[in-house]
Amino acid sequence: MVSSAAKLVDFHCHLDLYPDFEAVVAECEASEIQTLAVTTTPLAFPRNLELTRSTRNVRAALGLHPQLVADRAKDIEAFPELLGQTRYIGEVGLDASPRFYRSFGDQERVFSHILSLCAEAGGKILTVHSVRAATRVLDHVERLFPPDRGKVVLHWFTGSAQEAKRAVDLGCYFSINSQMLLKAAHAATITSVIPTDRLLTETDGPFVQHDGRSVRPMHVGSLTESLARVLRKDASHVRGLIYANLKRLLG
């Protein structure tokens, strides 16, 4: 039975990168969209926390984006002090694409350190970037972040079916955005490998665009409908499923 009160979920969005940061937070709150505001550096976290501290539907995550590690690796020094102020960590992870591969060793050191800090703290929920690095991300997770110490959500996962199966076995969740549904191989992985009880939705706004404009959390409803078509299920059922998955993740 799917609850008619199921809320929409945007589990990965860079709210602070919209020019109208405060307005988009207010949009999420007014529309009751369960939104995770990820950050790209710990230095951005305090402002995110300030704007979401009193919201019911928006939460701020503490992150250090792997694409920034080449220039901002020292920002990790702020992580331990801020870690106790949130349950949510992201965006973190690894990026082995050509543009960022030169910093891959530093990325691994930063990511390993974050995983160790989170494992020590316990109860953290991570949203993790894994571009061309799914196996290495899973290696680090398996070694440093046991399932009883927290949860991993793989954001915009583009790894192989075999890597997806390994991630499932490690207890990972997957947040799905509209761009992922456009590629047949990724859609096939979603339908054939990932259990539906491990799926969440995300916009990854403002990076994901539609018709030349950045998507916003309010567009997650149309994403849910698209995901329902891929899954060949009723849209209201998928909306309820995603919300139930979020509650289980948080529980």
pLDDT in tens, 174-210: 999 999 999 999 999 999 999 999 999 999 999 999 8
pLDDT band, residue 48 (cuts 50/70/90): very high
Whether 2 maps to a domain, the answer reads: no
Cα separation, 33 vs 6, in Å, equals: 10
pLDDT in tens, 122-149: 999 999 999 999 999 999 999 999 999 9
For residue 115, give the CATH number of its domain.
3.20.20.140
Whether 223 maps to a domain, the answer reads: yes
Whether 10 maps to a domain, the answer reads: no
Average pLDDT, the chain: 96
Whether 9 maps to a domain, the answer reads: no
pLDDT band, residue 121 (cuts 50/70/90): very high
pLDDT band, residue 62 (cuts 50/70/90): very high
Cα separation, 201 vs 244, in Å, equals: 12
Whether 7 maps to a domain, the answer reads: no
Whether 76 maps to a domain, the answer reads: yes
Whether 55 maps to a domain, the answer reads: yes
Average pLDDT of the segment spanning 243-248: 98
Domain total for the chain? Answer: 1
- DSSP track, 212-237: TEE--GGGHHHHHHHHHHHHTS-HHH
The residue segments making up the domain with residue 198 are 16-250
Average pLDDT of the segment spanning 67-81: 97
Amino acid at 82: L
Whether 3 maps to a domain, the answer reads: no
Cα separation, 170 vs 141, in Å, equals: 8
pLDDT at 5 over 90: no
